Amino acid sequence: MRKPVIYIDIAKLSSEATMSSKSNLLDDLGTFLSLSQIDKAHHFASNTRVMEFLGVRKLLRDLLIRHADHLHLGELRLEQDESGKPIITPVNHDLSVSLTHSRHWLGACFRYGLSVGMDLEERNRKMSDRLITRICTDEELHHPEFKADKLRLWVIKEAIVKSMGRGLQAHLHLVNVSELNRIEWDSQTELIWGGCTFNVRKLAKEDQCFGFRAKYEHSDDYTGILLINKELILAVAHSVINNDKN
């Protein structure tokens, strides 16, 4: 059985990147994008939105080049299913991918096997008390790590919902985060939590790292990591079955 590893990369969208040519990015991505993805890129009115859309897909393509070099990448296509979740075809490669962006930041990840979800937000995003109380349990709200910064709950729950591939059909208040523990690490690129290795590019020693566990509607189990630095908060979640549990 393949060792469970989730490969993660983040990048900042520079002002120079937002001025890049759409045609240059499309040429760079080549056949990696399906026709429906190319068509979608042509329908954004904002150049910044186009750069986010194409930039995060280039981030994923480059991540696959670095870590899935045994695959014939020229045969892979990135598409989206009916709920908007990105998928790699042909599906027999068993690749699960997730994409996210928030203003100046882009994020991408992939793993083999079980579904993965990723979400990030800039640290300065404000969360209304009304929204937080609507999506969180009393136990979550009184957890010391969440009391310090409720945005952490938002990105964890969003990552779990995205890993489910149900989009807006899944309800954040049904995600119950039961555990959040600080992770110490020796490597500058790898975190180990919940029986899975998280390979994170550009991990800095001053970053705060946590492992979490959660359930959706008291049935499906999820686990993952939460990364926090001075600019952003990032969560990566995946479903847990059989040998993924520790």
Residue where a domain terminates, one of 64, 82, 117: 117
C-alpha closest to that of 9 among 68, 72, 71, 56: 56
Q: Are residues 157 and 101 in the same domain?
A: no
**Are residue 12 and residue 27 in the same domain, yes or no?**
yes
Is 230 in the same domain as 124? yes
Q: Answer yes or no: are the C-beta atoms of 141 and 147 closer than 8 Å.
A: yes
- Calpha distance 244→220 (Å, rounded): 13
Q: What is the pLDDT of residue 20?
A: 63
Per-residue pLDDT of the chain in tens (246 residues, 90 and over written 9): 456 899 999 998 875 555 567 888 899 999 999 999 999 999 988 888 888 999 999 999 999 999 987 888 888 999 998 888 999 998 777 899 999 998 789 999 999 988 999 999 998 888 787 887 788 877 887 777 776 678 888 899 999 999 988 655 568 888 888 888 998 876 677 888 988 999 997 777 788 899 999 988 877 799 999 999 888 999 999 988 644 444
- 99 and 167 fall within a common domain: no
Residue at 177 is within a domain: yes
Q: Using CA atoms, how far apart are residues 157 and 92, in angstroms rounded to an integer?
A: 28
CA distance 192 to 145: 20
Counted domains in the chain: 2
Domain boundary among 56, 88, 117: 117
Answer yes or no: do 10 and 106 share one domain.
Answer: yes
Q: How many Cβ atoms are within 10 Å of 21's Cβ, its own excluded?
A: 11
What pLDDT was estimated at residue 22?
81
Q: In this structure, what CATH number is given to the domain that contains residue 38?
A: 3.90.470.20
Residues 43 and 122 in one domain: no
Is 193 a member of any domain?
Answer: no
Are residues 178 and 218 both part of a single domain?
yes
Clarify whether residues 112 and 124 are in a common domain.
no
What dihedral angle (degrees, nearest 10) is formed by the CA atoms of 118, 123, 125, 130? Answer: 80
As given in the structure block, the two tokens for residue 173 are 């208040």
Q: Is residue 102 part of a domain?
A: yes
51 lies in the same domain as 16: yes
Angstrom distance (rounded) from CA 225 to CA 246: 15
In a domain, 192, yes or no: no
Phi and psi (nearest 5°) for 26? Answer: -65, -40
- Domain limit, last residue, from 117, 141, 169: 117
Check: CB of residue 206 under 8 Å from CB of residue 229: yes
- The reply to whether 100 and 138 lie within a common domain is no
The range of the structural domain enclosing residue 14 comes to 5-117
> Across the chain, which distance is largest between two alpha carbons, in Å?
50
Rounded to whole angstroms, the Cα distance separating 161 from 143 reads 21
Task: For residues 82 and 121, give the distance between their C-alpha atoms in angstroms, rounded to a whole number.
Answer: 25
